[in-house]
A = this chain, B = another copy of it.
Amino acid sequence: MIQPFTSDPLRWVSEDGQPIRELPARFTPELLRELHRQMVRAREFDKKLVTLLRQGRTTFYAQASGMEGTQVGLARSLRVGHDWVWPYYRDHTLGLAMGISMMDIVSQCLGTNSDLCRGRQMPHHFGVADKRFVSISSSIASQVPPAAGTAMAQKYLGTDEITVCTFGDGATSEGDWHAGMNMAGASGAPCLFVCENNQWAISTHLREQTASETIHIKAKAYGMPGYYVDGNDIVAVMEVMEHVAGRVRAGEGPALVECLTYRVGSHSNADADAEKQYRTREEVAEWEARDPITRVERLLEHLGAPIDPQEIRDLVAAIHREVDEAVRAAEATGQPGWEIMFEDVYADKPVHLERQEDFLRAEQPATVGGRA
């Protein structure tokens, strides 16, 4: 029923919220409200963090607004804490929906003592061991070969885990993307590759990125099935992921899922004036009309279970409070001292780093704190 290599994206719910295939039974109004809540939570998180950024309290942020259907849908198809995830830098919505706390994400964005990653990386590059959500590397597509490796380990160890590896459309041009995809294919390891195709890589449109018509077709090069799904239709995302993750888990080898979506915000704070530079307001408006959150609201209306606008307003207010509280709690832990710089380079600190630390100690006043 769910076929790879379709010419159009698989879709269950039309852009105006009407089911165009039979709605699977699990999509009860309760589930849809829960998905809606998670998507709104991520959307509002984006807004609050952009404000934080404008206030200069963090230095980088990459919104996923518009991509909630894809990321929340994917999160629901994982066995959180069991399956491994090699994500990319725009996956905080995925992380939130997987149950990573706002505190953990915000702490990483602020580089506070509460940051599990200890302030090492620029904002938005978090990682959480107990969710098996591997800490993000900025180097585009560099997560793809390691994801293949983790899946190979899972196969070798005989686990029933799978590995999920996400990336943008632009990432598919990197040599490492190919290296990882081919390795996964050749090894038959349980890896689920998910392309969050938001059609732009900073200012470069997919049409300039590659001459191939779609991303999922590239799966042919690796002998794996490639699925094409409307990434703004969370029902479709969940149905396809469920099916494909099931295949992968069953040992049928890796697979690629392309989720067609759009980033309605700027690439990052660095191109806040994107529409003046490389894309039209019309294009953005067109995609705003296909918004994954509105689509679920319309679907609920269609199902006769509309969400009360007041409920949404309350939800938004609650989320804002949740973010504020996470920010407050994170900031309250303070910034890590300079000593932390020399930890985690190696399992044990070699002599030359001890010497460099001593040098800096003589220069810097001692700082208090550091996560226990």
Question: Which chain A residues have a beta carbon within 8 Å of chain B's beta carbons?
Answer: 173-179, 182, 185-186, 188, 208-213, 217-218, 220-224, 253
A186 partner, pick from B176, B179, B209, B218, beta carbons under 8 A: B209
Q: A114–B223 Cα gap in the complex (Å)?
A: 47
Contact partners of A208 in chain B: CB under 8 A: 186
Would you give the shortest CB distance from A247 to chain B, in whole angstroms?
14
Can you pick out 21 interface pairs between chain A and chain B where the beta carbons lie within 8 Å of each other?
A173-B178, A173-B186, A174-B175, A175-B175, A175-B176, A175-B178, A175-B179, A177-B178, A178-B178, A182-B210, A188-B211, A210-B221, A211-B223, A211-B224, A212-B222, A213-B223, A217-B220, A218-B220, A218-B221, A220-B220, A220-B221
Contact partners of A218 in chain B: CB under 8 A: 220-221
**Known contacts being A174-B175, A178-B178, A179-B175, is A212 close to B223, with CB within 8 Å?**
yes
Copies assembled: 2
Q: A213–B223 Cα gap in the complex (Å)?
A: 6
Q: A211–B252 Cα gap in the complex (Å)?
A: 12
Q: A210–B188 Cα gap in the complex (Å)?
A: 10
A221 partner, pick from B188, B212, B224, beta carbons under 8 A: B212
A217 partner, pick from B185, B213, B221, beta carbons under 8 A: B221
Contact partners of A188 in chain B: CB under 8 A: 211
Would you give the shortest CB distance from A201 to chain B, in whole angstroms?
12
Q: A176–B179 Cα gap in the complex (Å)?
A: 9
Contact partners of A177 in chain B: CB under 8 A: 175, 178
Can you list the 5 inter-chain pairs with the closest CB atoms, starting with the nearest? Answer: A175-B175, A211-B223, A178-B178, A185-B211, A218-B221
Are B174's CB and A186's CB within 8 A? no
| Apart from the given pairs A185-B211, A188-B211, 9 other A-B contacts in the complex at a CB distance below 8 Å | A173-B178, A175-B175, A178-B179, A186-B209, A186-B210, A210-B221, A211-B253, A212-B220, A217-B221
Q: A209–B218 Cα gap in the complex (Å)?
A: 17
Q: Which residue of B lies closest to A175 (CB)?
A: B175
